[in-house]
Chains A and B, each alone.
Chain A
Amino acid sequence: MFFDKIRRYLLPVAIFSLLYGGLNFLLSGLVLPGADFTTFRPQLLIPVVFGLVVNPWVGGIIAMAGNFFGDFLLDYGLYFWPWSIANFFIGFIPGMVAWWGIRNIKKVNEFIMVLVFVFLGNAIAMFIGFTTHVMLHGDATLLYVLRTFYVPGVISNSYILMLLLPPVLVLLKYLKLNIETRAMFLFLLFSLGVLTIVVAAVFWSQFNSLTNLIANQRIENGYDVLQQMIAHLFNWIGVALLVILIAAGSLGYYFSNRFMKPVMQLAEAANLLKQGQWEEKSRISIPRVNDEMTSLIQLFNNMATEVYQREARMSSEIEQLKLSIDKKKEDKIVKEITETDFFRKLEEKSNKIRKGKNR
């Protein structure tokens, strides 16, 4: 069953595994100074995107095979094999959103779900990687490793993915931009950009003063201090990421409720009206906030009601009036009018006129 899932994609799997591994090799130097495991790995995009766009298996296999290949290039051989297994989940877990029917992102909650699964993929993969590594090699306590390497690692991966993944998904048309997803997308991009600048500035100043201290032998254990400083920094980045995600999601939900929902309701109601299926009960409920959108909804409701009533009038069984004449009463009135002297004279006169005209 797993092979079924990737058979059709063998060629891309091969190519992108090689690319992933190759980038692991090339970008292995992209390590935060002093932090062994907190590398910036934009190549993570490859398995994540394949996991989302194609299917989880393809994403997982690319990450796993690619990692083996990268280790081979880096001359690690099979020493870090648990890491390659762990990498599988980086590509696999995000792709799992398809199991909940998410084949592309059109709504805020789908957007959030994808980001959360991307995060989970990294968190789980790296947890597996670190625990098996500690179990196999036992060169440090698990708690120390998790605190010092795991948390910053997960955060750096999540960070780079949150920054790079949405634009790529837009290009691939997996993320469909509409009112709500656009709001969330732009907010994410903007706030992550700001975060990057802030983090770079903080890191730069801290790192410089710290390396000075270390170089001047003013503190012992310089390496540990640096590690802690970086772990600390990453904790803050993690908090910032969480805040940004929540804010972006809230903004998306706000836009969804305030604009997207009424727009969709208007479109739906317009469609009903077009098909002649609009009814009084299809009136859109007026939002409590009073703004242009509210006016538009009111306008539409009124217009639809009018069109509806007009149509009902036209199509309702065309009625027929029953009019009658009371002959006796009428005879009496006619007699009263015609039996006066005035009327007799008038008759004569009109007679004369008619004759005159005929002449």
Chain B
Amino acid sequence: MAAIVSIHSYRGGTGKSNLTANIAYQLASTGKRVAVIDTDIQSPGIHVIFNVQQDANLPCLNDYLWRKCEIEEAVVEVDVTMAEGMNKLFLIPSSTNTGDIARIINDGYNVELLSEGFERLCEKLSLDFLLIDTHPGLNEETLLSIAVSDKLLVILRPDQQDFEGSSITLRVASRLQVEHIAVVINKIPASLNLEALKGDVESAYGHPVAAMFPHSDDLMLLGSKEVFSKRYPGHQFTREITTLSNYISQV
């Protein structure tokens, strides 16, 4: 049975796409069948990390939402050089065409289609994990993604606004009865006490902190052009990604 995992943050730029890509890579390299769907239709980005070139002739998530194709037709195989025992990694990209983006924002679409698409993907690709890279905030497709998710990772930075926003997401997610909810703290300044931060966040939210990522210059410098944990297998960040991936496949 596939697990649908939403990766969300209340505000933008928390590192959702990078974490999603790295978790996906990590899970796939332990032999899991993984697909990533970019539901950030308004500002897609994760294909950049996976080095997937957009081709106007190929269908993408937008085409499915406009009923121009089946969801499985929008799937592309991510070309990350495979380690031994590593499974294929699938991506369902959103269009980066500005016309497409404007159209979907103005005309909207049947959000229901999205949840049908998720289920169909899980089935057609016989997935172990479907990772959803979401748009920040709590718009309809994000709420829907959360509603149909088995697991939710809420990413936040140690920052007052992130802290308040994540609290809202978590309360909404609880109302939607998401089974496993965990918090991930990213971009932590080196001078912060990790244990104290973890304790504060867990007691404030009542949800576990599944992983904590210090701010990393190395990651920043890679500039979302590659999957970090593939490039730096021994890095502290990569180790924490492994922890997080294990958490996801175990709960």
Same complex for A and B? Answer: yes
| B70 interface residue (CB < 8 Å to A) | no
Chain B nearest CB, measured from A324 CB (Å)? 8
Contact: A318 with B148, CB < 8 Å? no
Contacts of A329 in B (CB 8 A): 164
Contacts of A334 in B (CB 8 A): 168, 171-172
Contacts of B64 in A (CB 8 A): none
| B246 interface residue (CB < 8 Å to A) | no
Given A318-B191, A337-B138, A349-B115, A357 and B158 touching (CB < 8 A)? Answer: no
Chain A nearest CB, measured from B248 CB (Å)? 17
Given A320-B192, A323-B158, A349-B115, A330 and B168 touching (CB < 8 A)? Answer: yes
Q: How far is the CA of A357 from the CA of B178 in the complex (A)?
A: 12
Q: How far is the CA of A323 from the CA of B1 in the complex (A)?
A: 39
Q: How far is the CA of A146 from the CA of B177 in the complex (A)?
A: 115
Q: Which residue of A lies closest to B148 (CB)?
A: A353
Q: How far is the CA of A324 from the CA of B82 in the complex (A)?
A: 45
Contact: B190 with A314, CB < 8 Å? yes
**Which listed residue, A314, A330, A346, touches B147 by the CB 8 Å rule?**
A346
Residues A308-359 near B (CB distance < 8 A): 313-314, 316, 318-321, 323-326, 329-330, 333-334, 337-338, 342-343, 346-347, 349-351, 353-354, 357
Q: How far is the CA of A321 from the CA of B238 in the complex (A)?
A: 25
Name B's interface SS: helix
Chain A nearest CB, measured from B4 CB (Å)? 9
Contact: B200 with A321, CB < 8 Å? yes
Ranked nearest first, the 3 interchain pairs of A and B with the lowest CB-CB distance are: A318-B193, A350-B147, A323-B163
Given A323-B160, A325-B163, A346 and B177 touching (CB < 8 A)? Answer: no
Contacts of B196 in A (CB 8 A): 318, 320
| B125 interface residue (CB < 8 Å to A) | no
Contacts of B147 in A (CB 8 A): 346-347, 349-350, 353
| B143 interface residue (CB < 8 Å to A) | yes
Given A346-B176, A350-B147, A320 and B193 touching (CB < 8 A)? Answer: yes
**Which listed residue, B144, B167, B176, B190, touches A330 by the CB 8 Å rule?**
B167
Chain A nearest CB, measured from B6 CB (Å)? 12
Q: How far is the CA of A343 from the CA of B144 in the complex (A)?
A: 9
Chain A nearest CB, measured from B118 CB (Å)? 10
Contact: B191 with A316, CB < 8 Å? yes
| B221 interface residue (CB < 8 Å to A) | no
Residues B152-167 near A (CB distance < 8 A): 158, 160, 163-164, 167
Contacts of B160 in A (CB 8 A): 323-324
The winner among B147, B148, B200 for most chain A CB atoms within 10 A is: B147
Contacts of A320 in B (CB 8 A): 192-193, 196-197, 200
A-B residue pairs in contact (CB < 8 Å), sample of 17:
A316-B191, A320-B193, A320-B200, A323-B158, A323-B200, A324-B163, A326-B164, A334-B171, A334-B172, A337-B168, A338-B172, A347-B176, A349-B147, A350-B148, A350-B178, A353-B147, A357-B150
CB within 8 Å: A-B pair count: 73
Name A's interface SS: helix
**Residue-by-residue, is B170-212 near A (CB-CB < 8 Å gives 1, otherwise 0)?**
0110011111000000000011110011001100100000000
Chain A nearest CB, measured from B192 CB (Å)? 6
| B140 interface residue (CB < 8 Å to A) | yes
Q: Which residue of A lies closest to B164 (CB)?
A: A325
Given A323-B160, A349-B115, A354 and B177 touching (CB < 8 A)? Answer: yes
Q: Which residue of B lies closest to A313 (CB)?
A: B190
Q: How far is the CA of A329 from the CA of B190 in the complex (A)?
A: 31
Contact: A347 with B204, CB < 8 Å? no
Contact: B158 with A343, CB < 8 Å? no
Chain B nearest CB, measured from A342 CB (Å)? 6
**Residue-by-residue, is B128-160 near A (CB-CB < 8 Å gives 1, otherwise 0)?**
000000000010100110011010000000101
**Which listed residue, B175, B190, B192, touches A321 by the CB 8 Å rule?**
B192
Q: How far is the CA of A351 from the CA of B178 in the complex (A)?
A: 10
Contact: B143 with A342, CB < 8 Å? yes
Q: How far is the CA of A350 from the CA of B178 in the complex (A)?
A: 8
Given A342-B140, A350-B148, A330 and B164 touching (CB < 8 A)? Answer: yes
Q: How far is the CA of A350 from the CA of B147 in the complex (A)?
A: 5
Contacts of A354 in B (CB 8 A): 177, 179
Contact: B172 with A321, CB < 8 Å? no
Contact: A319 with B164, CB < 8 Å? no
Contacts of A324 in B (CB 8 A): 160, 163
**Which listed residue, B115, B148, B172, touches A337 by the CB 8 Å rule?**
B172
Q: Which residue of A lies closest to B178 (CB)?
A: A350
Q: How far is the CA of A39 from the CA of B144 in the complex (A)?
A: 110
Chain B nearest CB, measured from A329 CB (Å)? 8
